[in-house]
């Protein structure tokens, strides 16, 4: 009977590999969620009139920067409020 590669791989190393894959999957999902949240929020703010933006204290030229700063890596707002 011949040995296969699985016979030489320790179970602990298999666990570590699966953890790496899960971490990479979570990072990809967070990246997609954040990108979607940025697009959605930026689109919503750009549709507002200049007067409405001034009422909430945002200059139209600062929308992109503000949106990126206010969302964490997973696409959630940093303090629970949209702006």
pLDDT tens across 38-58, in order?
889 899 999 999 999 999 899
pTM of the model: 0.62
Asked if the model's pLDDT at residue 63 lies above 60, the reply is: yes
**41 in a structural domain:** yes
Three-class DSSP category at 33: helix
Give residue 71's pLDDT band: very low, low, confident or very high (50, 70, 90): confident
- CB neighbour list of residue 73: distance below 8 Å, 6 or more residues apart: 30, 31, 34
Domain presence at residue 82:
no
Task: Note whether residue 7 is domain-resident.
Answer: no
Number of domains in the chain: 1
Q: Residue 30 has what pLDDT?
A: 82
CB 51 within 8 A of CB 10: no
Residue range(s) defining the domain that contains residue 43: 19-70
* Average pLDDT score over the chain: 78
């Amino acid at each position: 009977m011949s040995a296969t590669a699985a016979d030489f791989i320790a179970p602990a190393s298999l666990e570590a590999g699966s953890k790496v894959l899960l971490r990479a999957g979570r990072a990809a999902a967070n990246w997609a969620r954040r990108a979607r949240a940025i697009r959605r929020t930026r689109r919503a703010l750009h549709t507002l009139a200049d007067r409405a933006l001034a009422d909430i204290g945002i200059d139209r030229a600062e929308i992109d920067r503000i949106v990126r700063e206010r969302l964490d890596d997973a696409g959630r707002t940093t303090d629970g409020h949209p702006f």
